Amino acid sequence: MNCDIVFLLPLFIVTIGAILLMLLSAFESIRLEVASALSVGIFALAFLVQLVPIGLTDVLPFVSIFNGMLAVSDFTRIASMIIIACGLFTAMSAISYFRQNNFGSLEFFSLMTFAVSGMLLLTMAQELITVFIALETVSLSIYVLVGYNRRNVLSSEAVLKYLILGAFAGGFFAMGIALVYGALGDTGFAAIAASVSRDGLLHNPALAGGLLFILFALFFKVTVFPFHSWVVDVYDGAPIPVTGFMATALKTAIIAVLANVLLLAGDIRESWLDMLFYLTVLTLFAGNLIAIGQNSLKRMLAASGIVHTGYLLIALIAVSGDQFSGSVILYYLAAYAASTLGIFASLSYLSGTDEKRKEFNDFSGLAKVRPYSAAAITIFLLSMAGIPPTAGFMGKLYIIVTAYQGGHVILAVLGIVSSILSMWYYLRLIIAMYFHEADDLFETSGSRSAPVCAFILAICVLALSLYPVAI
Amino acid sequence: MAQNVSYLGMIPLLPLIGAAVVGILHLATCKKKRLPDQLYAVLACSTPILTFVLAVKVFFDLNGLPVDGRALTHEVFTWFEVGEMNISMGFLADPLSSLMLLFVTFTASLIHIYSIGYMAGDESFAKFFAYLNLFLGSMLILVLGNGPVVMFVGWEGVGLCSYLLISYYSEDRSNVLAGNKAFIVNRIGDFGFVLGMAFLFWAIGDSGFDYISLKTNAHMLAPATVTLVCLLLFVGATGKSAQIPLYVWLPDAMAGPTPVSALIHAATMVTAGVYMVARFSFLYVHVPTVGLIVAWTGILTALVSAIYGMFQNDIKKVLAYSTVSQLGYMFAGVGLAAYSAGIFHVFTHAFFKALLFLGAGSVIYALHHEQNIWKMGGLKTKLPLTYKTMLIGSLALAGCPPFSGFFSKDEILYSALASGHTGIWVVGVLVAGMTAYYTFRMIFVVFHGSPRDAHAYEHAHEPPAVMTVPLVILAIGALFAGFLNLPSLFGGSQQVTHWLAPSLAEHAHEASHSIEIIAIAASVAAFAIGIFIAYRKFGKGAEEPVYSGFSSFAYHTFRINELYDVLFVRPYKAIGSAIGNLIDAHVTDGPVQLIVWFYRQFGSTFKLLQVGYVRVYAIYMIIGLSVMSYLLTQSFK
Amino acid sequence: MPLLTLYDQLTVYLVIAALLFGMGVYGLITRRTLIGMLIAAELLLAGASINFMAFNRFTAPDPALGQIFTLFIMAIAAAEAAIGLSIVVAFYRHLKSIETADAAHLKG
């Protein structure tokens, strides 16, 4: 019983920290750097506590109070660690970003911390109502973060699209829960899994429809084709650190929920496999095709995020349900998060005043002016493209091997094909940086924190590829 | 029983640390104040020497073990583990790898020291040493890896370093092209290696993918699989070890600094293919047909490149073709299942070829980067020490008894004769004569006669001690290394063969002493004839000949490069420039542009779907959901 | 008189909820103004809430769950509306319009 508090401590730390930051925002005299440092401290503390291992089987903390609505295991622990690290690096790079983009305020960090606390809750939730509330906590915070630059019409437009479509998906999610509740009288994952494994999914149409709506809403959040359209515009309009945060932490949290729903409480993928297969294939290729045509880096990264979702779906289809540890998914998420955050951290300082550099051509010749930044970006891009010796390569390798061993040969082959297609747009930036002449001095004003972030993450990308078993 | 020793991991790690330290120091200071070159020299040279000490320790530790238990292992970490696939990053030292380890670290130490003199005053002195250390680390991973995967890591690592060092003088575009050529040709070979590895893995990878488990499970393989795997692995070997048809990169690789040619493109990396075949001897021994292909490929390579070697003007090109030729001998040896003979030739070759390259480096250094032998001459008096050491190297290369090359080459030729492959033996003897001819053609033209370029001759002087001492040490090696494997005919006991025996699956060819004497007599005769012709033509000074007819054809290496260009490079370019046009928009051809255009069009068509209207996005979602619902209702039936 | 017992039948509430939900979906696609779309999104949530209450009343063994969730939905809907309106205000300041067709600068 005493251990339970330890399991939930990261969540408590982050939530209390968020409230504290919100209160601090009332004081005008506090500088942005202080808030950033404070949130970094909160995340670091939570990360350290999260290092305590839990074990592969689910532990239900405070079962008498929470009635089994939360469960922790090594899967949730590592997912939480990824999310907390995403928050930490975002808080660090945001400072460099706000030096050059003059719309920062203290609430930014508080909102981000709230979002992280919602995500932590998401990873642990074992029951649909908790998922709904956590999801809305995250969404509401992120709406505000996306539209943080109120003076910029693009930022407003981005949040508008996200909000409307998000509310749309949220409505379906609520309806889905209502249907599941009607069908089973319960909203726990365990009850769903028990019912499905007892009678099959199709025995109960309300349950099937409800789950369909729920999957729809979750797919919307992780940008599965054809629910992906918002992501390119929203990532484009959002401030760079927020984009990086959404691309990594949010995706990790939602994938964790999907794994929870589909696998952890009991394997209910059986009836969905066909649908998941088509969605996966479409997601992989839609993402690649959208990314090819982009000239803006943020849009390209958003589209490439769709492709990475496709890979994660392959993993969700292919991992074996019994003795699920999720290591394949988690490793890919960690590798992807490190590379993506690294790119966005680099962009946070390289984009300059008011994000004036955002297209491929704006980074021409970067290697000649700022060789280290270019080298770091190259590492991140190679990792995303899946070229050894980076973490991204190992992640893709794991997923493709898992798919192959699980008998999904077509998915494995398509995964490789998509990885080849993706080289096009990743290498395009590398070529621009290394083989074109520089017509820009890439002056940046600001703190060193985002460059330090990029450096640490570049090392993480390389280190993760050497010690994949650590995850 | 394999013994676990942790210092094994240190051996590849040390040079890698050295590379990192030197590299970081260089990067951190190159823009501001340069650190003294001596610091880098000490840092970079300490790691190969330390690894050599460890290699000696490995040797003695192995020696202390019983004969059939001579294996030291160390597993650093499990590299990846997916399902049944379990690959660990681990090292294995057995007699075979320990022998490789010894001479690799030994020659590497000497060449590192030599480079201090040769590269003195170079702009990016530290960069060079960082690469060199990186190379050594990768080479040691290749040699010590406990399985094909770890070997492949090293294999790719040495390939990368080779590429970096060939294009080291990157101001000259042709050097960069030479590097690219090496890189691309090696990729073709690597493709074979990877495929072979994959087949092997599919066949018996489940129960362990390190050499020891593979060796135990090899009997479960179907004969067809073994043939396929061996052929594919040999494709990999032809790439790295420059055999027909992939040898074309090695002569061009001479664009790198001379110590690099000595270390990478003569003594160590290029022999990796031979090492690999010997490593997989437990597979090759079951498929004598593949072995025959290997042997014939090797001996034909030896013949062709010996012909080229007779007509080259560039001192390094002569040596490069002689390397290709000697590698051909080694493959002939391992192809005929005389693995220890092949490996022993690798071992002796490392000494005399490194010596010859370093000697050539001294000449080039003395003449301020002149490489054409027809501009040299009479250097005997100016560079006496270089002359003497190079003479020893040449005698070893040409196979003069009792120099090291004689014993190792003779053993290969003897096994060809003893196993009844007379054709290979005849070609081998012929090549031995040619080798003597072109080696001494080089010696006579460079060191004898009268100087052809008086100005350069006047200014020539012996290089500093830091360069000559390694020459002397290597010369001693080249002189005596052969005695390590003295055949019983001369009262020896073939120590190297016995040492290697536990690692190799060898067929010993028993034959009478009379056959051995015939083989030796033929080799010595070929050597004598070769040297005699060389002396007659060049001994008293000769002018640069005008090549015509066959000799011109041979001088242009049978126009193989042009042939490859027409057969492979141009069609490949047509396909491959899809990527190339990103770099240079002017090299694309019609069909490629069409593909690119289609790809782009797909992209921009898809872009049109991203209309930007939120209502349209909502409609996409509704359509998607409807299709999902439809699929769900379909499954109700 | 079955009409008088309509109030006591689960199906009736489910149909009403479905109607509300359908109107929400329809409205989201057809409404041109931001406010209209926000209202449509609220209708979706209203449909879900009615479903919850109905199931809670007629089928569920646990009397509290559906009601609690309905309360949550109300709170979340309110929060969403607040944020939505603030965005509408920001948007209106830039473009002097609340037509969604004007929000199409980000595309392609």
Looking up residue C55, the CATH number of its domain turns out to be 1.10.287.3510
Reported as a single tens digit per residue, the pLDDT across A345-359 is 999 888 888 788 888
Q: Mutate one of C73, C85, C95 to test the A interface: name it (highest A CB count within 10 A).
A: C73
B483 and B571 co-located in one domain: no
The answer to whether A400 and A331 are in contact (CB under 8 A) is no
Q: CB-based contacts of B19: which residues, under 8 Å, 6+ apart?
A: B130, B131, B133, B134, B137
Cα–Cα dist B240/A361, whole Å: 39
Q: Rounded mean pLDDT of chain B?
A: 81
C106 is a domain residue: no
* Mean pLDDT for the stretch of residues B596-605: 70
B333 and B372 part of one domain = yes
Average pLDDT over chain A, rounded to an integer: 86
The pTM of the full predicted model, rounded to 2 decimals, is: 0.65
Residue C30: closest CA among chain B residues belongs to which residue? Answer: B615
Distance CA B636, CA B634 (A): 5
Interface probe for B, chosen from C23, C29, C44, C99 (most Cβ of B below 10 Å), is C29
Whether B539 and B571 share a structural domain: no
Residue B1, pLDDT > 60, answer no
Distance from chain centroid for Cα A436: 33
Residue B61 pLDDT > 80: yes
Q: Which residues of C77-105 are buried (b: 16+ CB within 10 A; e: fewer)?
A: beebbebbeebbebbeebeeebebebbee
| pLDDT reported for residue B405 | 85
Which letter, b or e, does each residue of B540-570 get, where b requires 16 or more Cβ atoms within 10 Å of its Cβ?
eebeeeeeeeeeeebbebeebeeebeeeebe
pLDDT confidence band for A113 (50 / 70 / 90): very high
Instruction: Look at A165 and B610 and tell me if their CB atoms are within 8 Å.
Output: no
Domain count, chain B: 2
**pLDDT given at position B30:** 64
The reply to whether C59 falls in a domain is yes
Question: Is the pLDDT score of A43 beyond 90?
Answer: yes
| pLDDT over 90 at A340, yes or no | yes
Q: By residue range, what is the domain housing residue C25? A: 2-97
Q: Do C60 and A185 touch (CB under 8 A)?
A: yes
Q: Are residues B412 and B311 in the same domain?
A: yes
Chains A & B: contacts with CB separation below 8 Å: 106
B575 touches chain C (CB under 8 A): no
- Residue A318 in 3-state DSSP? helix
Q: Which residues contact residue C82 at a Cβ distance below 8 angstroms, ignoring those fewer than 6 apart?
A: none
pLDDT in tens, A58-109: 777 776 667 778 888 888 888 999 999 999 999 999 988 888 888 888 889 9
Interface of A with C in 227-266 (CB under 8 A): 232-233, 236-237
Within a domain: B118:
no
Give the total number of structural domains in chain C. 1
Rg (C-alpha) for chain B, rounded Å, is: 27
Residue B417: closest CA among B402, B428, B406:
B428
In chain B, the percentage of residues whose pLDDT exceeds 90 is: 3
Chain C contact set for B608 (CB, 8 A): 108
* Residue where a domain terminates, one of B486, B520, B545: B545
The pLDDT assigned to B507 comes to: 62
Q: State the pLDDT confidence band at B85, using cuts at 50, 70 and 90.
A: low
Same domain? For B478 and B625 the reply is no
Looking at residues C46-61, what average pLDDT do you find? 87
Q: What is the greatest pairwise CA distance in chain B?
A: 98
Measuring CA to CA, which residue among B135, B144, B133, B142 is closest to residue B55? B144
Structural domain of residue B572, as residue ranges?
A: 561-634
Rounded to an integer, the average pLDDT of B339-343 is: 87
Shortest CA gap A431–chain B (Å): 7
Q: Do B625 and A397 touch (CB under 8 A)?
A: no
Predicted pLDDT of residue A305: 92
pLDDT at position A15: 93
> Residue A266: its pLDDT value, please?
66
C105 domain-assigned: no
Does B603 lie in the same domain as B489?
no
Residue B485 and residue B603 share a domain: no
**pLDDT tens, position by position, A400-450:** 888 888 888 888 888 888 888 888 788 888 888 877 777 777 777 767 888
Tokens of A17: 């920290």
What is the 3-state composition of chain B as percent helix, strand, coil, each rounded to the nearest 5?
75, 5, 20
| Pairwise CA distance, residues B122 & B361, whole Å | 15
Assess if residue B95 is contained within a domain. Answer: no
Binding-face residues of B in 71-90 toward A, CB within 8 A? 77-85
Give pLDDT tens digits for B96-132.
888 888 889 999 999 999 888 888 877 778 888 888 8
CA distance B615 to chain A (A): 9
> Which of A204, A229, A313, A314 would best serve as a mutation to test chain B binding (most B beta carbons within 10 A)?
A229
Neighbours of chain B (3+ CB pairs under 8 A): A, C
Kindly state whether residue B27 falls inside one of the protein's structural domains.
no
> Is there a domain that residue B181 lies in?
yes
Mutate to test the interface with A, among C55, C68, C71, C98 (most CBs of A within 10 A): C55
pLDDT tens readout for residues B505-564 = 766 666 677 888 888 888 889 889 988 888 888 877 666 676 666 666 666 666 666 676
Q: How do residues A265-285 score in pLDDT, each as one tens digit?
A: 666 777 788 888 889 999 998
Rounded CA gap, A318 and B525, in Å? 68
Q: Percent of chain A having pLDDT more than 70?
A: 94
C108 within some domain: no
Question: A427 and B582: CB-CB below 8 Å?
Answer: yes
More confident residue, B617 or B219: B617
Burial of C1 (0-12, 13-18, 19+ CB in 10 A): exposed
Question: Given this model, what pLDDT does residue B5 score?
Answer: 79
Tell me which chains share at least 3 CB pairs under 8 Å with chain A. B, C
- Does the pLDDT of residue A471 top 50, yes or no? no
- For residue B5 the two structure tokens come to 């020793």
Q: Are A364 and A301 in contact (CB under 8 A)?
A: no
As a whole number, mean pLDDT of residues C15-24 equals: 93
Q: What is the ipTM of this complex?
A: 0.93
Q: Could you give the CA distance from residue B12 to residue B10 in angstroms, rounded to a whole number?
A: 6
CA distance B606 to chain A (A): 6
Q: Which chains are within 8 Å of C by 3+ CB pairs?
A: A, B
Q: Does A292 touch chain B if contact means CB atoms closer than 8 Å?
A: yes
> Using 50, 70 and 90 to split pLDDT, how confident is the model at B574?
low
pLDDT for the residue numbered A2: 55
Q: Which helix (H) or strand (E) holds B5?
A: none
Residues A171-213: tens digit of each pLDDT: 999 999 999 998 888 888 888 888 888 887 778 888 888 999 9
B122 assigned to some structural domain: no
The beta-carbon neighbor of A161 closest among B602, B614, B625 is: B614
Type of residue numbered A188: G
Please tell me the least confidently modeled range out of B57-71, B101-115, B288-302, B556-570: B556-570
How many of the other CB atoms lie within 10 Å of CB of A101?
23
Q: Determine the distance in angstroms separating the CA of B625 from the nearest CA of chain C, rounded to an integer.
A: 12
